[in-house]
Structures are given as structure tokens and as C-alpha cells.
Chain A
Amino acid sequence: MGDHGENHRVRIRVGEVSRVIHTDLLAAIAAFGLPNASTAIPGIPLAPVQWRRLVEDTAAARLSGHLVEAIDSGAFAVTPEQARQAAELHRKLTWRVLRLERRLLEVAGLLDALGVEMRVLKGPALARTCYPKVSSRTFADVDVLVPADRFDEAVAALADAGCARPLPQLREGFDRRFGKNATFVGLDSLQVDVHRTFVVGPYGLLITLEDLFATHEPFVLGGRTLKALGTEEQFLNACYHAALGDVPPQLSALRDVAQMVLGAKLDADRARGLAEAWRGTAVLARGVALTWRTLRLSEEPPLAVWARRFTPTRRDQRLLSCYVSANRSNSLKYLASARVIPGTGAKLAYLRGLLLPDRAFLARRRVAHGAWWHRGAMGLLGRERLAEGSTELRSLVRSEENESA
């Protein structure tokens, strides 16, 4: 080999090392208390700068419950002042959680009065159905799922109750047929998401929505019995959130997945059967594999082994890339969505919603139709992907023609 001077030497800047350690530490906190957590937690208190950053990121990642438990158990060495700060942070976030739970009871009351079936999603339900200690799981908003055919009623009820919807739907009836959720914000800044399905895009559209209301798991909040999704449906919701949500994934979502896989209630075969029926097996596998990898969990139950060995089909690779690749974008999700919507009429209605949004939607976005299309073409697709998008559209039109024929 030739002499390349100093170039061959590995260089790691101090900041990079710090970032790696910080990421590992957050993952270790997210995994704290799981029987197979393998990432070490510091045996000596962090320096003030590192500690401040950890507290901020713990709050953002909704991991304060696990942080406090790690400290209280003695696993995470802290100074007395750091212990006080951690407890104070968790107490502050818990106050907000209680306000959110009050809002959840209000929403439940509204929908109950209308006779609209509801399932509580994510935080409030998971805290009470999956975690040994309710206080471990905090959350930042309320998510409820309603049947698609009652979606408009539920949305109207929240609007009538004074909740503001910052962004209206694209066209009348669009969300009921194709949307993921409607977001509402109260005057107190508390957010409620009324869901029709788990995620935006093709994987959300492929879920058999009736399945989500076929079973439920009850839990009690403030003396009132509410319904969470059934155990496996709830688990799949966590997997969809972990696998297709933020990049990098939210650590609290990964913890939810691990908590359920390692819990006693989950029927892994039923979960795989449901995922297969929803054509979401790749999502399930990605959610579980990502959890084991990111949280560095040691022993693998059969579901984790299966997930690690799973190879997505080319179709799934294409769909997953809409959500998680470096080129991910809403435009690719929209195009992929159009492909999975069954029936020509429904496909056209979907595309019409995207291409010809209502004036109310555009006004709220402060764009004209022309600007919306321009943004769709250049902003959402991106210049470098315009050709790719055009090819997708042509292909879609061809498949429509074939379907019509």
C-alpha cells in the first residue's frame, strides 16, 4: 500500500464521541427496566453540560419516567441536585399528562353522547395496559381512533366543543376516505388527534379498519372505563409508529414495542396474522428489529429473531422507502397511496383531492391553486425526483387503464 501520510488514521472528534455516548445513554434510559437491556448506564454523575442536555432530550423523548426509575433504583448515578431536577421534570410532565387525560375524558364524553365508538391509542392506553407502573409512560397529546364512517361526526363534535382545527382537510370527505387523522388544538394548547387509521400513506390505507374495532382492552381512567385497542392491534399500532414515524424513531415508541413483546399478553402469531392481512408484515418486522437494534436488547424472543431475519419484498422496500429512506417525502407517500387504493373511482377521488384542494384548505395554507401545484411538483416531489414522480404517475395511469379495461 502506498503511503497516504496521516489520511489512513481514524479520527474521531470529541464532539462525535460525545454525541454517540449521549445517544447510547438515551437508548439505555428508554430500555431501563427491561429484563434484557444491555447498554450500561453511567456509574458516576454526568458533568453539568451533559446532564442539562440529557434532561432536555429526555423531556423531548418523553422518557422522564424511565429516567426517574433508573435514578431511584441506583442504576444511574447522579448528584442530589440532579436527582431533584429529574424528579421535578417528571412531576412537571406528569401535570401536563393529567390535563391531557382530563381532555381525553371530555372527548370520550362527547363521542359517547353521539354513540360514536372510540379506541384510545398510544400513551394513555399503553400506560394502563402495558406498563407495570402507569407513571412510567408519559405523552404529549391525546390520540383516539374512530370508525371511518363516523369520522366526520367526531370531527364536527370536537369543532363544536371549541377545539380549533389548524389545518382543514383537502376536500370535503377526503379525510373520511383517505386521511390519517384530524388534529385539534384547544385554547389551553392541548392537542387531540382524531384518527381514522394509524399512519399516513399506503400502509395506513392498507389496514382493514374494521379489524381495529373487532376487539378491545378495557382500562379505567378517572373512574371511567375506556377502550384501548385489542392487545395485538395495539402492538401493531406501536410497530407502525416505531417503523414508519420519525427518522430516527422515537425512543418511547421503541420502548412500547419492547414492553409488549416482552410482556405476557401478546399473541405473536395473531399479531403476525393481522399484519399479513393488512399487508404490513414488513412494518411489523421493521418495528421489532429496529427496537432490538436501537435499544440494544440482548436476548431475542422468537418474534425478534424472525424480525431480524425478515427480508422485505421489493414492493415493501419501495413502500418503506416512502417513509424512511433519505429520499422520503409526502409526495412519494401520496403516489404510493394512489397505487394501493382499490377501484378506479376511489383512485380518481383521491387524486382529485390532492390536485384540487378546497379553497378553505388553500386559504389556510395561504397558497393559490397554481402555487399548490407548483409546490406539489417542485416542493413536495423535489426537483431531482420530478422525473421519478412523473414515471410513477404515468405507470399509475397505465394501471388504471388496464384496470378499467
Chain B
Amino acid sequence: MIKVRDGAAVWREIDGETILLALKTSVYLGLNQTGTILWEAMIEGSTSDDLTDLLVAQFAIDRGDAAADVTSFVERCRAHGLLE
């Protein structure tokens, strides 16, 4: 399960994008529309497969590309201490 850690960040969505402040590292992150979709799913908790399905459904892209995007995004979130 991939889930945003409680107290890991504060964020606001502006015009389809998300601005996020990682509380552990004090780094601001800007998430584009794709990142915002994944982030919202990760707040509730999701699996890699479900996240991949989300991107495929939303953008009609190749599943392999979507899975790679999800892996990259999750790794970066984890590096900033954002995930459980």
C-alpha cells in the first residue's frame, strides 16, 4: 500500500496543480496535473497497480509508460519523507 504519511506535508491545489510543502525537509514541491492525480489517490492509500490504472484511464497512455511514471513519482515522494 502506498499512502501519504500523516503530518508529512501541507498542500493546496491551484488550477489543477498542487503546491506542497514537505514538513520534514522544508522543501516546496510543485505537482503537475498527473502528480496531483496520483497524490490525491495516495492520500487515501493506493497500490502501484491502481495508480497505474488511474494514469492509463486518465491519459490513455501505454501501461508500461504509466507504471514507470508511477514508480518514479513514488520514489521521489519517498525521498522527501512523504510516504508511510
Contact = CB atoms under 8 A, between A and B. Distances in A.
A222 B20 CA distance: 10
A98 B14 contact: no
A121 B16 CA distance: 27
Given A95-B28, A98-B28, A222 B19 contact: no
B6 A224 contact: yes
Given A91-B19, A94-B19, A95-B28, A223 B14 contact: no
Interface in A220-237: 221-224
Contacts, number: 53
Interface string B32-74: 0000000000010000000000000000000000000000000
Interface string B1-24: 000111111111111000111010
A242 B34 CA distance: 40
Interface residues on B, range: 10 to 19
A98 B7 contact: no
Q: What's the dominant secondary structure at chain A's contact region?
A: helix
Contacts of A222: 6-11, 23
A135 B7 CA distance: 19
Given A221-B10, A222-B9, A223-B5, A102 B15 contact: no
A221 B10 CA distance: 7
A95 B10 contact: no
A105 B14 contact: no
A90 B9 contact: no
A95 B20 CA distance: 8
A102 B21 contact: yes
Interface in A108-148: 133-135
Contacts of B14: 68, 87, 90-91, 94, 135
23 contacts: A68-B14, A72-B15, A87-B15, A91-B19, A95-B21, A95-B28, A97-B12, A98-B10, A98-B11, A98-B12, A98-B20, A98-B21, A98-B28, A102-B10, A102-B21, A133-B13, A134-B12, A135-B12, A135-B13, A222-B8, A223-B6, A223-B7, A223-B43
Interface of A: 68, 72, 87, 90-91, 94-95, 97-99, 101-102, 105, 133-135, 221-224
Given A90-B14, A94-B14, A134-B13, 4 more contacts: A87-B14, A95-B28, A222-B10, A224-B7
Interface of B: 4-15, 19-21, 23, 28, 43
